[in-house]
Chains A and B, each alone.
Chain A
Amino acid sequence: MNPWILLSVALPSVAGILLLAVSFGEYIRGSEKAFTRGVQVYTAAALALSASVSLYTAWQGEKECSLFEWLDGILVYFRIDALGRLMVTAVSIAWLLIGFYSLAYMGHEGKETRYFGFYLLLYGILTGLSFSGNLVTMYFFYELMTLVSMPLVLHSGSREAVMAALKYLFYSMCGAYCGLFGMVFLYRYCHTLDFTAGGALNLAAVQGHEGILLTAVFVMILGFGAKAGMLPLHSWLPAAHPVAPSPASALLSGTIVKFGALAVIRTVYYVVGPGFLRGTWVQYVWMVLALLTVFMGSLLAYREPVLKKRLAYSTVSQVSYILFGISLLVPDAVEGALLHMVVHAFVKCGLFLTAGVFIYRFGYTRVDRLGGLGRKMPVTLWCYTVFALALTGIPPTGGFVSKWYLAEGALQSGIPVFSWLGPVVLLVSALLTAGYLFPVTIKGFFPGEEKDPGNGAKEEPSPLMLIPLMVLAALALLLGIMPNPLIRYISQITLEVFS
């Protein structure tokens, strides 16, 4: 029993629920403005406090904590391991930065109290999800994550938003049910549902039931893949992102989709074990799906005129890089996948936040309206350029390193056809990525003649919005210039898993 783990899950959750209760009860006293200011201060304080508690807990070392017995022999059980620590760290950084950005941004969307309530609550749930020590606990938080992130999509309350939120809910529910379906099988065929590096399959029990178990694992991968935007359950992403407020899209794209990938990693590497899947049809179908998603996502993004929707398709494609890396079942590729998980989290957050700046300042959502911004907001556009470079995978940014490892892993895997097809698809997709991201930079700095350059006045957003962008850009660069500490940390995880 470790109180810190409980505290790090409970603190933001309770803070969020309190805020929701306030927004629900409409107990507003005094002026509206003072109230909003109070909410902002409260959110900032709660966020800072809970992030520091989570980070402190995560880096304390291996800790575990079983809460209570939920079902027969199944505990609600938390354990901090290297992977969970990585996730919590990435999420906390993203959460802090997006949080401060939202303080400035959400004034423009309204209903801030409700938004921040769900924002804090979601942070607690994601912390719980990262710290989950067995499949059932993970499933529990996974469902809660869907449910609590839905109101963020729903924020504006328009008909479009409701439809998008419902779509998000159904895809996630289908996915989660597929996960549950597989879990019921794994419960029978595994020694334990606790996460053990390298898997805990009961080989004696599996004997003769390989077919059904493979199907179950495949269904789980598909189901959890829905959250990560993998084909065929990807279409909630482009629907949900444009209608959500920009910081919420950043959360969805930057962090929440990663938890789909995390769930797949947990299932494949911590419950079933990579050895069981290697060379089976599940692996091949999975690779095909992931590569198809990578390619198709980029292609759709390339054709999409609305910036946020374009970024959403780009997420579909980029997260499947991660899934492809996981599907190869070799250490280098998994390393690349985890690196890409971190890099993409920061970069995609940054991109959505920049798109938010454009909307906040000018109300522009389409890419073709964005000409000539380089003069008005050079810092923002430079940040955007760094993110674009990183997502495309051009050195010296983080994206280069992760994609390098992914390609390396694919080549090393020795799987026929895929060992060269993988890198080729990744390269083509990188080209497309450059094709859909750079026009904003190019038109921004070189608008040509038809665009009105304005009177030359600067229109940078407030520092509260600008600083998170700059920090994220710096992180994207830093991960490219000095990736070694992170790589060393991640290689610990892969070593554990493949031993």
Chain B
Amino acid sequence: MDFVRNFPFISIILSLFSGPLSSILSGKWAKRINTAVIAVIGVMSACVLAYVAGTGEEFIYYMGHFPAPWGNEIRVGELEAFMAVFFCIIMLLCMLGGMKERLTQIEESKQNLYYIMVNLLLCSLLALIYTNDLFTAYVFVEINTISACGLIMIRQNGRTFEAAIRYMIMSLLGSGLLLLGLCFLYSVTGHLLMSNIQQQVRLLTAMGEYHIPLMVALCLMSVGLAIKSALYPFHSWLPDAYGYSTVSSAAILSSLVSKGYIFLLIKIFYRVIGFDIICESKVIHVLYVFGIMGMIMGSVSAIREDNIRRMIAYSSVAQVGYIYMGLGLGTEAGVVASIYHVLSHAATKSLLFVAASGLTDASGGSVRFKDLRGAGYRHKLAGIAFMVGSLSMVGLPMFSGFISKLLFSQEAVGHTHKMLPTLIALAVSTVLNAVYFMKTVISIYMPPGEEVELAESRNIAMREQPGKSVALVCFIILNLIMGLNSEPIIHLIETGLGMFR
């Protein structure tokens, strides 16, 4: 069974090399390879998860059997393995759901490029999840950025170019700040390996030295990753990037890419600096305040939106706000709630993007609300799926969104200072969510207005888009599982976080 220990490394390498391989293949074969790679990695990660859960402790894998500081380290715990499995599932479903759009929206000669990007993205996500080395993390953050830009830009119209360039600039700013922070840490501690840095940081804090440089490094890294994951004041790149790119890109970007950075930040909190030191610092309060602002402002912007894709995109800003708010609570249970929300949001947001694309298909490709009237009847499964996603976002019991909201509020109740703002922000944001999501649900079930050209909108049967139908059904099931049977997942997150220490 010890062979399983190689799997994380093999999955990273597999996805890394399937990228270049795709460049010499045709689009069709690139797609097959891509699907196979994601599936295989998913299965391997599941094996790793089973192995880690079986042994009950994390393991460290030395690449090439060179111990650090010469070799590179991969660290695998329960949470990491679970994240890898989950990301693979979501990615597979996103790719499945956007299959038809990719065929029409991407030029014939560039089909295989898309799969290169996806493979590289998966590789970098896995590396971000598994790595135990800050510099490796930085390298893969850059790979992630580049491939994400490619995913946005590959649907070639003016808006996506602009969006990609904006994303590139903001993202590079983010990685730049991360790099700066990393350099600070390196020069203060003399290490790049997470566990070594933590030892040194503990030592330095105990001696009371280098307090300010450490805090500066922490700030830089937090802000850098916050920019990349679209925390509220740094979210300006997001609506265009999610709103105009092809649907599988939007779904992957919103549910996986930003979540990868958040996971890295959590790792930095726990494994690089040490969670208790983080909690004593003021950084956590800043993240908390930004998170709360994001929860409200994201929803407000979403309400004003007339375009269903951009509305969902803005809702992501609000949801990322939730996650940072949970981190900002500065307790272990708050982080558990945040991670649960990462999962729940990943499952729901990609569902919404895929469902919305189904609805727009049935409305002659228009994304305006007035054209979407009655779309729920024209594409039935997409209508139901969109409703499920909306209800989950609003936080109705039975769906995953409710559980994360409950976890947040349960945790907030125990807090002395942050209790009231958290609960009020949750309440306001819930109501705002209800405003725009239920408005959309009602409008897709309204009889169409007269101004809609009947020729453009047409009925779409489930059989017509098998990939999307399967993806939607799976997403709905995933949401229900996370809403009704959340206990094992929460438990897993808790033990996984326990292994972080």
Q: Indicate whether A and B interact.
A: yes
In whole angstroms, how far apart are the Cα atoms of A166 and B434 in the complex? 9
In the complex, the answer to whether A188 meets B413 with C-beta atoms within 8 Å is yes
| A25 proximity list for chain B (CB < 8 A) | 380
In the complex, the answer to whether B431 meets A157 with C-beta atoms within 8 Å is no
In the complex, the answer to whether B438 meets A162 with C-beta atoms within 8 Å is no
In the complex, the answer to whether B442 meets A24 with C-beta atoms within 8 Å is no
Across the interface, name the chain B residue whose C-beta is closest to A72.
B487
Known A-B contacts A174-B431, A184-B413; A162 and B442 likewise in contact (beta carbons under 8 Å):
yes
| Residues of A146-199 whose CB lies within 8 A of B | 147, 154, 157, 162, 165-166, 169-170, 173-174, 177-178, 180-181, 184-185, 187-188
Q: Please pick, from A68, A139, A166, A187, the residue contacting B410 in the complex, using a CB distance under 8 A.
A: A187
In the complex, the answer to whether A177 meets B427 with C-beta atoms within 8 Å is yes
| B446 proximity list for chain A (CB < 8 A) | 157, 162
Contact of B484 with A by CB under 8 A: yes
In the complex, the answer to whether B406 meets A173 with C-beta atoms within 8 Å is no
Contact of A204 with B by CB under 8 A: no
Known A-B contacts A140-B397, A143-B396, A162-B446; A173 and B410 likewise in contact (beta carbons under 8 Å):
no
In the complex, the answer to whether B434 meets A169 with C-beta atoms within 8 Å is yes
Smallest CB separation, B489 vs chain A (Å): 12
Contact of B347 with A by CB under 8 A: no
Contact of B430 with A by CB under 8 A: yes
In whole angstroms, how far apart are the Cα atoms of A139 and B403 in the complex? 13
In the complex, the answer to whether A173 meets B431 with C-beta atoms within 8 Å is yes
Known A-B contacts A157-B446, A184-B413; A143 and B397 likewise in contact (beta carbons under 8 Å):
yes
Contact of B409 with A by CB under 8 A: yes
Contact of B394 with A by CB under 8 A: yes
In whole angstroms, how far apart are the Cα atoms of A173 and B429 in the complex? 11
Smallest CB separation, A165 vs chain B (Å): 7
In whole angstroms, how far apart are the Cα atoms of A460 and B307 in the complex? 51
In whole angstroms, how far apart are the Cα atoms of A173 and B426 in the complex? 12
Contact of A450 with B by CB under 8 A: no
Q: How many residues of B contact A (CB 8 A)?
A: 29
In whole angstroms, how far apart are the Cα atoms of A28 and B484 in the complex? 35
In the complex, the answer to whether A173 meets B394 with C-beta atoms within 8 Å is yes
| A452 proximity list for chain B (CB < 8 A) | none
Contact of A56 with B by CB under 8 A: no
| Residues of B476-499 whose CB lies within 8 A of A | 484, 486-487, 490
In whole angstroms, how far apart are the Cα atoms of A143 and B439 in the complex? 17
| B190 proximity list for chain A (CB < 8 A) | none
In the complex, the answer to whether B409 meets A181 with C-beta atoms within 8 Å is yes
In the complex, the answer to whether B409 meets A157 with C-beta atoms within 8 Å is no
Smallest CB separation, A276 vs chain B (Å): 18
In the complex, the answer to whether B487 meets A71 with C-beta atoms within 8 Å is yes
Q: Please pick, from A70, A154, A173, the residue contacting B430 in the complex, using a CB distance under 8 A.
A: A173
In the complex, the answer to whether A24 meets B380 with C-beta atoms within 8 Å is yes
Contact of B283 with A by CB under 8 A: no
| A24 proximity list for chain B (CB < 8 A) | 377, 380
Known A-B contacts A72-B490, A169-B438, A173-B434; A180 and B391 likewise in contact (beta carbons under 8 Å):
no
| A72 proximity list for chain B (CB < 8 A) | 487, 490
In the complex, the answer to whether A166 meets B438 with C-beta atoms within 8 Å is yes
Task: Indicate with 1 or 0, residue by residue over A131-145, a CB within 8 angstroms of chain B CB atoms.
Answer: 000000001100110
Q: Please pick, from A139, A174, A185, the residue contacting B413 in the complex, using a CB distance under 8 A.
A: A185
Known A-B contacts A71-B487, A154-B442; A170 and B435 likewise in contact (beta carbons under 8 Å):
yes
In whole angstroms, how far apart are the Cα atoms of A165 and B410 in the complex? 30
Known A-B contacts A70-B484, A71-B487; A177 and B398 likewise in contact (beta carbons under 8 Å):
no
Contact of A449 with B by CB under 8 A: no
Smallest CB separation, B160 vs chain A (Å): 34
| A32 proximity list for chain B (CB < 8 A) | none
Known A-B contacts A166-B442, A184-B406; A147 and B396 likewise in contact (beta carbons under 8 Å):
yes
In the complex, the answer to whether B427 meets A181 with C-beta atoms within 8 Å is yes
| B409 proximity list for chain A (CB < 8 A) | 180-181, 184
Known A-B contacts A165-B442, A169-B434, A177-B430; A140 and B398 likewise in contact (beta carbons under 8 Å):
yes
In the complex, the answer to whether B431 meets A170 with C-beta atoms within 8 Å is yes
In the complex, the answer to whether B406 meets A166 with C-beta atoms within 8 Å is no
| B180 proximity list for chain A (CB < 8 A) | none
In whole angstroms, how far apart are the Cα atoms of A25 and B376 in the complex? 11
In whole angstroms, how far apart are the Cα atoms of A180 and B409 in the complex? 9
| A165 proximity list for chain B (CB < 8 A) | 442
| A170 proximity list for chain B (CB < 8 A) | 431, 434-435
In whole angstroms, how far apart are the Cα atoms of A24 and B442 in the complex? 15
| B413 proximity list for chain A (CB < 8 A) | 184-185, 188
| A178 proximity list for chain B (CB < 8 A) | 427
In the complex, the answer to whether B406 meets A71 with C-beta atoms within 8 Å is yes
In whole angstroms, how far apart are the Cα atoms of A24 and B379 in the complex? 11
Across the interface, name the chain A residue whose C-beta is closest to B442.
A162
In whole angstroms, how far apart are the Cα atoms of A313 and B78 in the complex? 58
Contact of B56 with A by CB under 8 A: no
Across the interface, name the chain B residue whose C-beta is closest to A162.
B442
| B484 proximity list for chain A (CB < 8 A) | 68, 70
Contact of B447 with A by CB under 8 A: yes
| B473 proximity list for chain A (CB < 8 A) | none
In the complex, the answer to whether B403 meets A71 with C-beta atoms within 8 Å is yes
In whole angstroms, how far apart are the Cα atoms of A185 and B427 in the complex? 15
| A185 proximity list for chain B (CB < 8 A) | 413
In whole angstroms, how far apart are the Cα atoms of A24 and B486 in the complex? 31
Smallest CB separation, A263 vs chain B (Å): 14
| Residues of A181-223 whose CB lies within 8 A of B | 181, 184-185, 187-188
Smallest CB separation, A234 vs chain B (Å): 17
| A154 proximity list for chain B (CB < 8 A) | 442
| A68 proximity list for chain B (CB < 8 A) | 484
In whole angstroms, how far apart are the Cα atoms of A169 and B442 in the complex? 11
Contact of B106 with A by CB under 8 A: no
In whole angstroms, how far apart are the Cα atoms of A412 and B48 in the complex? 70
In the complex, the answer to whether B487 meets A139 with C-beta atoms within 8 Å is no
| B414 proximity list for chain A (CB < 8 A) | 188
| B430 proximity list for chain A (CB < 8 A) | 173, 177
| B486 proximity list for chain A (CB < 8 A) | 70-71
| B397 proximity list for chain A (CB < 8 A) | 139-140, 143-144
| A162 proximity list for chain B (CB < 8 A) | 442, 446
| Residues of B415-447 whose CB lies within 8 A of A | 423, 426-427, 430-431, 434-435, 438-439, 442, 446-447
Across the interface, name the chain B residue whose C-beta is closest to A154.
B442
In whole angstroms, how far apart are the Cα atoms of A154 and B403 in the complex? 29
| B406 proximity list for chain A (CB < 8 A) | 71, 180, 184
Smallest CB separation, B310 vs chain A (Å): 21
| A139 proximity list for chain B (CB < 8 A) | 397
| B391 proximity list for chain A (CB < 8 A) | 147
In whole angstroms, how far apart are the Cα atoms of A174 and B429 in the complex? 11
Residue numbers of B with Cβ under 8 A of A are: 377, 380, 391, 394, 396-398, 403, 406, 409-410, 413-414, 423, 426-427, 430-431, 434-435, 438-439, 442, 446-447, 484, 486-487, 490
For the complex of A and B, 8 pairs with smallest distance between CB atoms? A140-B397, A173-B434, A184-B409, A184-B413, A177-B427, A177-B430, A143-B396, A184-B410
17 additional A-B residue pairs with CB within 8 Å, beyond A174-B431, A185-B413, A187-B410: A24-B380, A70-B486, A71-B403, A72-B490, A147-B391, A162-B442, A165-B442, A166-B438, A166-B442, A170-B435, A173-B394, A173-B434, A174-B427, A178-B427, A180-B406, A184-B406, A184-B409
> Can you list 17 A-B pairs, Cβ within 8 angstroms, ordered by A?
A24-B377, A25-B380, A143-B396, A144-B398, A147-B396, A157-B447, A166-B439, A166-B442, A173-B430, A173-B431, A177-B431, A178-B427, A180-B406, A181-B427, A184-B406, A188-B413, A188-B414
Residue numbers of A with Cβ under 8 A of B are: 24-25, 68-72, 139-140, 143-144, 147, 154, 157, 162, 165-166, 169-170, 173-174, 177-178, 180-181, 184-185, 187-188
